[in-house]
Amino acid sequence: MASVTSLSDSVHQRLAAALSAALPQAGSADPLLRRSDRADFQANGILALAKKEKANPRELATQVVSRVESGELLQDVEVSGPGFLNITITDRAITENLAARYADDTGRLGVPTAEHPGVTVVDYAQPNVAKEMHVGHLRSAVIGDSVTRLLEFTGESVVRRHHIGDWGTQFGMLIQYLDEHPHELDHESAEVSGEEAMSNLDRLYKAARKVFDSDEEFKTRARRRVVDLQAGDPQTLAMWQKFVDESKIYFFSVFEKLDMEVRDPDIVGESGYNDMLAETCRLLEESGVAVRSEGALCVFFDDVKGPDGKPVPLIVQKSDGGYGYAATDLSAIRDRVFNLKANTLLYVVDARQSLHFRMVFETARRAGWLNEDVHAVQLAFGTVLGKDGKPFKTREGETVRLVDLLDEAIDRASAVVREKAQDLSEEEIAERGAQVGIGAVKYADLSTSANRDYKFDLDQMVSLNGDTSVYLQYAYARIRSILRKAGETRPAAHPELELHAAERALGLHVDSFGATVAEAAAEYAPHKMTAYLYQLASLYTTFYDKCPVLKAESPEQVENRLFLCDVTARTLHQGMALLGIRTPERL
């Protein structure tokens, strides 16, 4: 399907052409176009340009107006103020543009892909083995999933990496305990639920911890296990694998609840880089990027100091020879750059790990693994707070289990759906409840810019009014219901009709969908998409208030308005899909 040039791009081209005709010495100057309330667009670029070229801005603006080619596109271009241009598009151009988008059956609404897409590795949704998932893991999963979808929509090749915490000294304790209590992870039936898997792991973890803290000899045996594990002892590895497998049952159940696809081959945890660790250290030491200090292999930074003023190094290898989180992340960078051939490495990780990543990235830069062509970015997200504004905890002060939270969201949403439901069966209420509840949680997370902390407030999240996914889902369902009422045929556009101001505003906003995707993807900012969609639904509501659809004056008018409804619905649907949120046909 051919892609559609947006109206703002078309206007931009014409103004830029007129500008360079009026002022050849300015070369290809930017007219600086933006949406405006007074007209459809306003161009502000002439002022600065006139100043630079020592010309009179109003005169230059008048020159541009006289040279601009209006064609079927421009209704009116007028000079305003000290040298702005107010630009109005023809109704015909708006309808024809939307009709071309509507004709694109791929769901892309005529949005082109990027000219030079690259390869991005996205590191997100990385829980830890044998541990309960919490709200921090939720944020990484939700934001990472949306950013991945946005990037793919622009044509980027995305490789997903779920860097789970599946390695480290705690496994010595767990494995030793399992070795001494061999039936603790046995299952009575073949089918184990995620819930059961987690409770098995939790029980085992607590029991192992208890012995570890009270029994010195066990502690010694556990420590020996760590050495065996790192040396690749087969029996130890086989037991370690049991923990990983049991945890995956749990992880997958949570991701399924989150309505999120996580594929097993994309789960490459810390252990996946085991074979590279020694080499990573050797490369860093030989190049002088890392130095031995008190037996440990360290990288130092001028600007990273502890409270005592002493430099705090990144420790790549501990003095006992053990490798930690930094060695794994540095090895992962080598893998992603040299094997996966990435241009961009994106890490969707809690802001509290920012210092770690700053040091890791700088080390990789010094080693030459990262450079101008290959760069790494942490998409750092803030903390999830409770309603009281403090880090989210249960009343007992414990970390809130993610599953409990999701279940509660689904319950609340089901209550909302049930209350509004007219002709929905119990089964449908349950299905919609899940889609609305999970959508609400995702939307609340995505609609605040990632680096900010946000309050987890279920009442607000499932509210029908305001900037929530529920509001958008209802807007979508309402449009679909109008279209059903009108019959199944695909409404045709009528470019000859005059448009109401509310139709124009809606149409121009639909046209800017592609620009929004491009911006949200380039800036890793899903909240730009949520803001766009919220405004889309608001503009639709105004349109619907002002312009009768099924009772419009003429059959052509009815059809054209139905077409506007449909193209809006498709845009809403696609936008929500890029956030990982469902849009049920009926609510």
124/540 with CB nearer ligand ARG: 124
In the complex, least distance from residue 329 CB atom to ligand ARG, rounded to whole angstroms: 5
64/164 with CB nearer ligand ARG: 164
CB 190 within 8 A of CB 250: no
Query: Which residues, numbered 103-162, are part of the site for ligand ARG (CB under 6 A)?
Result: 123, 126, 128
CB 154 within 8 A of CB 521: yes
Residues whose CB is less than 8 angstroms from the CB of residue 383 and which lie 6 or more positions away in sequence, other chains included = 136, 350, 351, 352, 391, 392, 453
129/211 with CB nearer ligand ARG: 129
In the complex, least distance from residue 348 CB atom to ligand ARG, rounded to whole angstroms: 8
273/474 with CB nearer ligand ARG: 273
CA distances to 125, 166, 182, 520, 521 from 148, in Å? 12, 23, 41, 11, 9
In the complex, least distance from residue 141 CB atom to ligand ARG, rounded to whole angstroms: 11
Task: For residue 512, give the nearest of 154, 35, 45, 89 by alpha carbon.
Answer: 35
Measured between its terminal Cα atoms, the distance across the chain in Å is 32
359/483 with CB nearer ligand ARG: 359
DSSP-assigned letters across all residues of 34-57: EE-SSSSEEE-HHHHHHHHTT--H
388: amino acid identity, one letter:
D
Find the DSSP H helices in 313-401: 325-334, 354-366
Q: How far is 235 from 418, CA to CA, in rounded Å?
A: 53
Per-residue DSSP letter, 491: P
In the complex, least distance from residue 315 CB atom to ligand ARG, rounded to whole angstroms: 15
In the complex, least distance from residue 324 CB atom to ligand ARG, rounded to whole angstroms: 11
Per-residue DSSP letter, 397: S
In the complex, least distance from residue 240 CB atom to ligand ARG, rounded to whole angstroms: 16
Task: Verify binding: residue 228, ligand ARG, rule CB under 6 A.
Answer: no
Query: Which residues, numbered 346-375, are part of the site for ligand ARG (CB under 6 A)?
Result: 347, 349
How many other CB atoms sit within 10 Å of the CB of residue 367? 19
123/511 with CB nearer ligand ARG: 123
Task: Verify binding: residue 165, ligand ARG, rule CB under 6 A.
Answer: yes
Retrieve residue 270's tokens: 């810390």
Dihedral, CA of residue 272, residue 341, residue 141 and residue 145, to nearest 10: -150
In the complex, least distance from residue 548 CB atom to ligand ARG, rounded to whole angstroms: 53
131/242 with CB nearer ligand ARG: 131
Is residue 553 exposed (0-12), middle (13-18) or buried (19+ Cβ within 10 Å)?
Answer: exposed
How many other CB atoms sit within 10 Å of the CB of residue 10? 18
Per-residue DSSP letter, 139: H
CB 561 within 8 A of CB 547: yes
163/412 with CB nearer ligand ARG: 163
Task: Verify binding: residue 163, ligand ARG, rule CB under 6 A.
Answer: yes
318/356 with CB nearer ligand ARG: 356
In the complex, least distance from residue 356 CB atom to ligand ARG, rounded to whole angstroms: 7
Query: Which residues, numbered 292-351, are part of the site for ligand ARG (CB under 6 A)?
Result: 329, 332, 347, 349
CB 34 within 8 A of CB 42: yes
83/165 with CB nearer ligand ARG: 165
Find the DSSP H helices in 306-425: 325-334, 354-366, 402-420
In the complex, least distance from residue 353 CB atom to ligand ARG, rounded to whole angstroms: 7
Retrieve residue 526's tokens: 């899903």
284/348 with CB nearer ligand ARG: 348
| Total chain residues near ligand ARG (CB under 6 A) | 9
324/439 with CB nearer ligand ARG: 324
How many other CB atoms sit within 10 Å of the CB of residue 56? 12
In the complex, least distance from residue 166 CB atom to ligand ARG, rounded to whole angstroms: 9
Q: How far is 244 from 247, CA to CA, in rounded Å?
A: 5
In the complex, least distance from residue 252 CB atom to ligand ARG, rounded to whole angstroms: 16
Task: Verify binding: residue 97, ligand ARG, rule CB under 6 A.
Answer: no
Query: Which residues, numbered 183-202, are part of the site for ligand ARG (CB under 6 A)?
Result: none
How many other CB atoms sit within 10 Å of the CB of residue 286? 9
400/576 with CB nearer ligand ARG: 400
In the complex, least distance from residue 168 CB atom to ligand ARG, rounded to whole angstroms: 10
In the complex, least distance from residue 143 CB atom to ligand ARG, rounded to whole angstroms: 13
348/441 with CB nearer ligand ARG: 348
Strands 384-385 and 157-161: unpaired
CB 46 within 8 A of CB 33: no
Q: How far is 570 from 574, CA to CA, in rounded Å?
A: 6
Q: How far is 376 from 358, CA to CA, in rounded Å?
A: 10
In the complex, least distance from residue 281 CB atom to ligand ARG, rounded to whole angstroms: 18
Q: How far is C-alpha 283 from the geometric centre of its chain's CA atoms? A: 34
Positive or negative torsion for Cα 509, 1, 485, 559: positive
Q: Which residues bind ligand ARG (CB under 6 A)?
A: 123, 126, 128, 163, 165, 329, 332, 347, 349
